[in-house]
């Protein structure tokens, strides 16, 4: 898994790309990736975003080591084009809204330059042990703010 | 898997209920069902709806035996309350919109009477072998029309 | 999910049957259930066995409420025949060996009377909070002993 | 996903390593990867082995483009140590037996240098469209023979 922070290249700078090897295991008898796999990949891309931005601290470490959870309250995905194992799936991933206790990510999936899906995923920050809403710590908020982009900026 | 066509009970008549046994396997370290499992369950509920309404013809048989596919173009889910293995998950499932070549399902998941998630799922009808949009056959359209309900009718 | 303790019928008495609705979602482009799905179903069948034998206490409740885990140390599965959505998959499930701190289950999967897979699954009992081996409590041991059968007794 | 053919380094030469980013999504409430995930990863490693050895031709391309399937007839896995998101999971993967119409792979999973699981996976070669046993084509057999190693050679 080679998750690359952005190449610095003008308008596309700062968008994290998470690469997925689509496999036989992911495909249904229509010979394309099963719809239900796609939300799983998009969530993995968001987990990988945190891991890349927080020096190796993904959801697992956030929960276990920092008592911070990010349960989802909404997801919406538009499926634009079928996904197959013929190409890697590149998930362009960025935070596009940060509230007091919530965050929205955009994840757009591409294969061979073609948009396959685009989605928005909103979660709230909680104290993991209590499962109660909480403001995220300052260092986390700073990291998100540094990478915040408009929703259509992918 | 006991998928029951509706009990006939006034306002709630005609809503198919798909029951899911939530398990240890479905839960993450937060001790609740992982978010990514929920779209999979909702899709299973829609597949089970077809199976119940078409006398055993679910997506597999529609594709294999009738050359009819229903790829998804959009899903949107609001997560209202955590899901655990403490109760069965009841997915109330109904078609709420039928276009010329598209259909939208609503799936609402309940545990112990509490709403856990609500979602809309839109797919298009295609000739499976060509993956090209097509009007659904008359018998299928008739079945859907007989069970169509408003989106908020669950 | 209607998990039935055994019908009492002579030689086949006492074998728990866990029923699975195989779906489109489970199939790969070969139009049969993907191999990787089968261990997941067999594990679900074992979880369902506990739930049925312990009045609703499956792995989740064992871990959360009784601080008892059962991590697996070995699985071996022979795949005999392809699995499809054409029939329900019946997983005949029983404990076939009980050691001081370990247990082996046999799970045999049938579709339409034909054997599709047979597997053995061994786990150890641990104190969940410590992840250290421990003898299972007496009530649990008694339940297993009451249902223990030879490995080839399915 | 950076799947590396072997570094050439004496005794360990020629063992393909498939790297997996274990995630929150893969873990259960015991805070380790769920047992049922492990066969899926091992199968992915075998699919990735083919892809690396056949210049991009994994199971999907073998089936779709060359009408060649490899359904599994047996898997056996020993679980040695829990898997967590704290380290990448390295799956050392090699063919250890090649029959007329069958092949056995060994897959050993390591985290941070510690053995987490070891497994054997046997499949048969079939003509995909017929699902009947067939000898593999010469080029495929040559690739396997060039990389065949003893079962305990990982």
Reported as a single tens digit per residue, the pLDDT across B10-61 is 444 579 999 999 999 999 999 999 999 999 999 999 999 999 999 999 999 9
Asked if the Cβ–Cβ distance from C25 to A34 is below 8 Å, we say: yes
Whether residue D10 lies within 8 A of chain B, CB to CB, comes out as no
- pLDDT number for residue C154: 75
DSSP codes, C93-108: EEEEEE-SSEEEEEEE
Put simply, the chain D residues between 45 and 64 with a CB less than 8 A from any chain A CB are: 47-48, 58-61, 63-64
Alpha carbon distance, N-terminus to C-terminus of chain C: 21
- Secondary structure class of C47 (helix, strand, coil): helix
Q: Output the average pLDDT for chain B.
A: 93
A23 → chain D, closest CA residue: D60
B84 to chain C: which residues are within 8 Å by CB? Answer: 60
What angle do the packed helices A59-66 and A37-53 form, to 10 degrees?
60
- pLDDT number for residue D154: 75
B3 to chain C: which residues are within 8 Å by CB? Answer: 21
CA distance B103 to B96: 8
- pLDDT number for residue B4: 53
Q: What is the pLDDT of residues D15-66, one digit of tens each?
A: 999 999 999 999 999 999 999 999 999 999 999 999 999 999 999 999 999 9
For chain D, give the percent of residues with pLDDT over 70. 92
D34 to chain B: which residues are within 8 Å by CB? Answer: 24-25
A51 → chain D, closest CA residue: D23
Asked if the Cβ–Cβ distance from B1 to C23 is below 8 Å, we say: no
Question: How would residue A19 be classed by pLDDT, with cut points 50, 70 and 90?
Answer: very high
Question: In this model, does residue A32 exceed pLDDT 90?
Answer: yes
CA distance D96 to B86: 45
- Secondary structure class of D86 (helix, strand, coil): coil
Best residue in C24, C33, C58 for a mutation probing chain B (most B CBs within 10 Å): C24
Q: Which helix (H) or strand (E) holds D44?
A: helix D37-53
D25 to chain B: which residues are within 8 Å by CB? Answer: 28, 34, 36
C27 → chain A, closest CA residue: A28
Q: What is the pLDDT of residues B96-131, one digit of tens each?
A: 999 999 999 999 999 999 999 999 999 999 999 999
Question: In this model, does residue A11 exceed pLDDT 70?
Answer: no
Q: Which ipTM value was assigned to this complex?
A: 0.93
Report the DSSP pairing between strands B68-69 and A102-111: unpaired
C37 → chain A, closest CA residue: A25
Query: Positive or negative, the Cα torsion across B96, C24, A40, B4?
Result: positive
Q: Output the average pLDDT for chain C.
A: 93
- pLDDT number for residue B20: 98
**Looking at chain D, how many residues does it have?**
154
Best residue in B20, B31, B36, B80 for a mutation probing chain A (most A CBs within 10 Å): B36
Query: Positive or negative, the Cα torsion across A11, A14, A15, A19?
Result: positive
Chains that touch C (3 or more CB pairs under 8 A): A, B, D
Asked if the Cβ–Cβ distance from D82 to C71 is below 8 Å, we say: yes
Residues of chain C with pLDDT under 50: 1-2, 5-12
| Nearest chain B CA: its distance from C148 CA (Å) | 23
Number of Cβ pairs closer than 8 Å across A and C?
A: 24
Best residue in D2, D47, D60, D89 for a mutation probing chain A (most A CBs within 10 Å): D60
Put simply, the chain A residues between 89 and 148 with a CB less than 8 A from any chain C CB are: none
> In chain B, what are the domains?
15-152 (3.10.129.10)
Asked if the Cβ–Cβ distance from A25 to C36 is below 8 Å, we say: yes
Q: Which helix (H) or strand (E) holds C69?
A: strand C68-69
Whether residue B36 lies within 8 A of chain D, CB to CB, comes out as yes
Comparing CA positions, the residue from C16, C18, C72, C70 lying closest to residue C41 is C18
Query: Positive or negative, the Cα torsion across B67, B68, B73, B77?
Result: negative
Q: What is the pLDDT of residues A101-124, one digit of tens each?
A: 999 999 999 999 999 999 999 999
Which of B29, B60, B77 comes nearest A75 by C-beta? B77
Whether residue A23 lies within 8 A of chain C, CB to CB, comes out as no
CB-based burial, A49-88: b 16+ in 10 Å, e otherwise? bbbbbeeebbbbbbbbeeebbbbbbbbbbbbbebbbbeee
A75 to chain B: which residues are within 8 Å by CB? Answer: 35, 39, 75-77, 79
CA distance A77 to A45: 14
Q: Residues D123-141: what's their mean pLDDT?
A: 96
A26 → chain C, closest CA residue: C28
Chains that touch A (3 or more CB pairs under 8 A): B, C, D
Q: Residues D76-102: what's their mean pLDDT?
A: 98
Token digits of residue D59: 């199971």
Question: How would residue D4 be classed by pLDDT, with cut points 50, 70 and 90?
Answer: low
B1 to chain C: which residues are within 8 Å by CB? Answer: 1-2, 19-21, 88
Tell me the C-alpha to C-alpha distance, in Å, between residue D28 and each of A87, B23, B46, C77, C124. Answer: 31, 10, 26, 23, 17
């Amino acid at each position: 898994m080679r998750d690359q922070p952005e190449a610095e290249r003008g308008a596309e700078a700062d968008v994290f790309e998470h690469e997925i090897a689509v496999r036989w295991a992911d495909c249904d008898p229509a010979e394309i990736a099963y719809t239900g796999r796609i939300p799983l990949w998009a969530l993995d891309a968001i987990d990988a975003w945190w891991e890349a931005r927080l020096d190796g601290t993904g959801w697992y470490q956030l929960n276990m080591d920092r008592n911070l959870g990010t349960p989802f309250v909404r997801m919406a995905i538009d499926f634009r084009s079928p996904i197959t194992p013929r190409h890697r799936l590149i998930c362009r991933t960025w935070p596009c809204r940060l509230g007091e206790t919530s965050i929205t990510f955009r994840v757009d999936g591409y294969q061979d330059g073609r948009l396959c899906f685009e989605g928005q995923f909103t979660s709230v920050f909680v104290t993991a042990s209590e499962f109660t809403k909480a403001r995220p710590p300052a260092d986390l908020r700073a990291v998100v703010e540094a990478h915040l982009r408009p929703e259509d900026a992918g």
